[in-house]
Amino acid sequence: MHCRLTLATLAVPALLAAQTPPPASRPAAKAHRVDAGPAIDGRLNDAAWAGAPPLSAFVQHEPFDNQAATERTEVRIVFDRDALYIGARLYDSDPAGIIRGEVRRDANLKEQDSFLILLDTYLDRQNGFAFGTTPSGIEHDGQVTREGEGGFGGPATGTPQVAGGQANLNWDATWTVATSVDSLGWVAEFRIPFETLRYSGGSPQTWGLNFSRFIRRKNEEDFWAPVPRQHSLYRVSLAGTLEGVMPPTRRVALVTPYALGTLHRDFVAAAKTDAAVDVGVDAKLGVTPSLTLDLTYNTDFAQVEVDEQQINLTRFNLFFPEKRPFFLENAGTFAVGTPESVELFFSRRIGIDGTRSVPLLGGGRLTGKVGGLTLGLLDIQTERVRDQEVILTPPENFAVARVLKELPRRSRVGVIAVSRFNADSTGDRNVTVGADARLGIGERITLDLYAAHSETPSRTGASNLANLSGSYLTRNWEIGMAVRQVDPDFNPEVGYLERPTFRYYNVRFLRHLRTPNVGWFREFRPHVTFRQYDDTDGRPQSRLFHFDSHFVFANGAFFESPVNFVREVLRTPFQISPGVVIPAGVYDWVEWATIYNTNLSAPYAISGRGTVGAFYTGRRISSQISFIARPNEKFNATVRWNYEHVVLDEGRFDRVLLGLRLAYTFTPRMYLQSLTQWNNQNNSLSANVRFGWLGPAGTGLFVVFNEGRETGPNHRPLDRALAVKFTRQFDLAH
């Protein structure tokens, strides 16, 4: 299998585009212009709403797609010279049954009543912006990239993924929402400034548009533009249209300075507390209406939550997600590969060296649309890190260039280049180049291709990557396949590989069986997955046969009962725990599991997974349980317990990981959160406490306390830090 992506392959979507028929009929809305927008107070009695005709023909997406919604929804749309306004009257025959949910920003909208807006401002049928709220008036916003990148690929449990199922919720924009609950139901009123959005030039414009309403007590989701239930709202290609929008020429000039004060003490290496004060600045500039330049100097992420600890019983890397806001914004533009498996660009490689944070001197990012192309350029410079005269981390430069062409019928083609070089050593560098394409065939079939090549001076062997995957998705079936090869010297140093050098095969079949005549039960999903990893010379590494039965209940609870047939081939001995070494050899075993959660919108819920069975030369019992308490809309708590009991011929050990997450949300813009974790492997206790008082676009005041403590016989503190950060956004365009 050779890593080659020919021009003919890349041209397939272009040939398809030339044959694309006119789009099917979709609902259309007309934006109503007003001289002055309504006051945002959660009521629709302002005169500005009077001339806007209501949109009310909502249909069910769940549980019975294309049937009439059981509750009436009316939406009105107006705009003035500065902003788009959307008002929704959500009638409810049982207002007492409305579930208000949490008041935390970007809370899960499926665990409470909610209303969500999708805007495709370029009308490219693949990308957009999402704005949502709940009866509690939270702000929920995200960027939708390439229909949420839905399709085949998922965890070993076989958990199904809907196409277009995700949005980047780490994008925090400047906009306003207010809600109210009354005897008729509830009301949501939005003001979305045009400067928050990106759009092409010219006026008037037509945008893609869709709405969803979720009625939690019924577990019912209603859409304005119908979307088959195997897809989500983020299936942008099936959205309706909003006509007559006349946005101004986009002028964006936002400057966000910060000031940071820290106190830090390392109890192991130093006897005194270090104090420091620092400043930095971010800027966002609109180069054109559709192109934005982000600049950052002395970048800081003090307010970001720490990682959740994990237990690793494999030979391979654990995946920890990116949480830093600068890298999360527009992250979809730079995404090439398979998430959590092979990613050509993985931003956690920048500014993080193992467990050490590396200061970012600064950098810039240019993203947007130019001549029908999606463009992404990123350049970041890190600082040198010293310990007296010893250089711990050299100064490095990281750069990414991405160009993408979106085509009709959910298709696209793109290229990417990623580089890292050591400013202190010309021989220490790495470059990865790649190309990717997606081919949509009708509404059911999707093919994804990507290929890449890396160059590292110290590696002279084959260094290519190739991937082909496809999915077939209907109301009743999910079928997927994937083939992937990673050569021995493929080395994307600014990317992510789940394991080195492999050839991978995956086939999956899932059936959706609805039970419309059983009120308490929603769906049965039997499915089977085959997955195999080989060396590139064909020698086996790992194999999995996964058989599962997934039961989904009407209230949102579910239960799975998978059985896995596993093979692991060890070429060399594997130290799975200190003093426990598994010999080289071929190991086969069977394991049974249960995966479950109760109704997560209830005040108290449980979710978890348990596994029992053989394991290498012995046996294993695994348990992961989360107890969730949400007694009111302001407070929630989660207790997480992970336990691994392993008995092998070579020895036995137990792994325990405890986590306690607490959150109290005073208002949608003020919160107090904590994450406390303990594990028995290194007998350590860590605590992360964060207070946030938010302003526009995620700015504001943040106070963060961190402590690490040994819980063994010494019971001593290891590390303690306090940070106070204030950041404020200034709009220089007004």
Whether the CA torsion 398, 305, 330, 482 is positive or negative: it is: positive
Burial of 390 (0-12, 13-18, 19+ CB in 10 A): exposed
Question: From CA 187, how far away is CA 73, in angstroms rounded?
Answer: 10
Confidence (pLDDT) at 328: 84
Residue 204, preceding peptide bond in cis (omega within 30° of 0): yes
* Residue burial 557-580, b: 16+ Cβ < 10 Å; e: rest: bbebebebebbbbeeeebebbeeb
CB atoms within 10 A of CB 706: 18
Find out whether 221 and 64 touch, Cβ atoms under 8 Å: no
Confidence (pLDDT) at 24: 52
Give the H/E segment covering residue 16: helix 7-18
Question: From CA 85, how far away is CA 622, in angstroms rounded?
Answer: 51
Angle at 361 between CA 355 and CA 362, to 5 degrees: 115
**Above pLDDT 90, what percent of the chain?**
75
Confidence (pLDDT) at 18: 37
All residue ranges of the chain with pLDDT < 70 are: 1-24, 149-165
Residues 6+ apart with CB under 8 A from 473: 151, 163, 230, 231, 444, 446, 479
Whether the CA torsion 514, 518, 522, 523 is positive or negative: it is: negative
Residues 6+ apart with CB under 8 A from 253: 283, 284, 285, 286, 731, 732, 733
pTM for this model (two decimals): 0.88
Confidence (pLDDT) at 305: 85
* Residue burial 140-172, b: 16+ Cβ < 10 Å; e: rest: bbbbbbbbbbbbbbbeebbebbbbbbbbbbbbb
Write the secondary structure of 615-650 as one string of H (helix), E (strand) and C (coil): ECCEEEEEEEEEEEECCCCCEEEEEEEEEEEEEECC
- What is the amino acid identity at position 728? R
Confidence (pLDDT) at 584: 98
Residues 6+ apart with CB under 8 A from 96: none
Confidence (pLDDT) at 323: 86
What is the 8-class DSSP label of residue 315? S
Question: From CA 72, how far away is CA 82, in angstroms rounded?
Answer: 30
| Residue 402 C-beta-side C-alpha neighbours within 13 Å | 26
Residues 6+ apart with CB under 8 A from 442: 409
Residue 562, preceding peptide bond in cis (omega within 30° of 0): no
Q: Coil, strand or helix: which one is 472?
A: strand
Q: Which tens digit of pLDDT belongs to each residue from 484-506?
A: 999 999 999 999 999 999 999 99
Confidence (pLDDT) at 7: 35
Token pair in block for residue 270: 């130093």
Give the H/E segment covering residue 6: none
